[in-house]
Amino acid sequence: MKDILIIGAGPAGLTAAIYAGRAGMDALVIEKLFAGGQIANTHLLENYPGFPDGISGQDFAEAMRKQAEKFGAEFVSAEITKLDLSGDIKKIYAGEKCFEGKTVILAGGAIPRKLGIEGEEDFIGMGISFCATCDGMFFRGRDVAVIGGGDTALGDAVYLSNICRKVYVIHRRDQFRASKVVVDQAKAKENVEFIMDSVPERFLGGFDFEGVELLNKKTGEKTTLEVQGCFLAVGYLPDTAYMEGIALDKSGYIIAGEDTKTNIPGVFAAGDIRTKRLRQVVTAAADGAVAADEAAAYIESTKISF
């Protein structure tokens, strides 16, 4: 029996584990992949306070995990299949294994959004990737495309420009959503080219990935872009499919305010998984701190005998 069960080892979950340990709470962090979540795939984190020269996402995540372990947090690798949060004792199932706790912090983050177009499923992992820092080296000296217009997409383009011969950035609008500093960095790269007002209609190839068919939304013209790889950066979907009983908004995010409280007593939501306007590492960390504090206050106030 743990004081706090934390689902997810991204910045929100790791911060929650740190604050839980410092509050004397016995915390268990359950993560199906690796510490850091999305941030572990970021080649350079530049907007987190205290790192004027930036820090790699992997180094940042590893430091947070070590800090959480220093304060007593335990980690287990498991894929969650079911939750039972209705009683005083909260239960999290991973297959036949069951973890029990007095409170739960849901910090599972989000998963990459797919485009849902022809050829996508055929080439995921064989030309199509969701992680430039993970797979960029496979395309050294080759031509690639990045689809998206946010910070992740433009940041991926900058990273890939140092590896690949040519990087095309495909965006459906005539303006980027990314911050100006990231856009300027991408524009400064001579081998980065922007294809605006365009959307991918299908991915092309036989045995090997060969490119993408594009539709210009303004002119209606269709063109074929020949590239050997394509990186998708079109947003994320909250990882809430298995969370029966938790109130979600129309987009599938957990409904929870700045106090991180969900509709179920003793259950809290932190980070990208909850309804919020700004989803950044710094706001995820803030959520984690609040959630751990609220969980400790809940345990103290209920005085339930376990």
**CA pair distance 257, 259, nearest whole angstrom:** 5
**CA pair distance 112, 175, nearest whole angstrom:** 22
Using the 8-state DSSP alphabet, how is residue 114 labeled? Answer: P
**CA pair distance 172, 276, nearest whole angstrom:** 24
pLDDT at 304: 60
The residue among 124, 109, 169, 114 whose CA lies nearest residue 144 is: 169
Q: What mean pLDDT do residues 220-226 have?
A: 97
Using the 8-state DSSP alphabet, how is residue 261 labeled? Answer: B
Alpha helix stretches (DSSP H) within the chain:
11-22, 57-70, 120-123, 132-135, 151-161, 180-187, 281-302
Contact present, 53 and 7 (Cβ < 8 Å): no
Contact present, 8 and 109 (Cβ < 8 Å): yes
- Lowest mean pLDDT segment, chosen from 41-50, 60-69, 181-190: 41-50
Q: What mean pLDDT do residues 92-98 have?
A: 92
Q: How many CB atoms lie within 10 A of CB 173?
A: 12
Q: What mean pLDDT do residues 122-149 have?
A: 92
Element (H, E) at 145: strand 143-147
pLDDT at 34: 73
Q: What percent of the chain has pLDDT above 90?
A: 79
Report the amino acid identity of residue 79: E
**CA pair distance 191, 161, nearest whole angstrom:** 6
Active site residues: 131, 134-135
**Beta carbons within 8 Å of 273's beta carbon, 6+ residues apart:** 8, 12, 106, 107, 108, 109, 110, 238, 239, 240, 253, 254
**CA pair distance 302, 293, nearest whole angstrom:** 14
Q: What mean pLDDT do residues 168-187 have?
A: 95
pLDDT at 305 exceeding the cut of 90 = no
pLDDT at 35: 81
- The mean of the pLDDT values for the chain is 93
pLDDT at 41 exceeding the cut of 60 = yes
**CA pair distance 254, 269, nearest whole angstrom:** 7
Residue 29 corresponds to which tokens in the numbers above? 């962090």
**Per-residue pLDDT band at 57 (split at 50, 70, 90):** confident
pLDDT at 215 exceeding the cut of 90 = yes
- 211 versus 35: which is more confidently predicted? 211
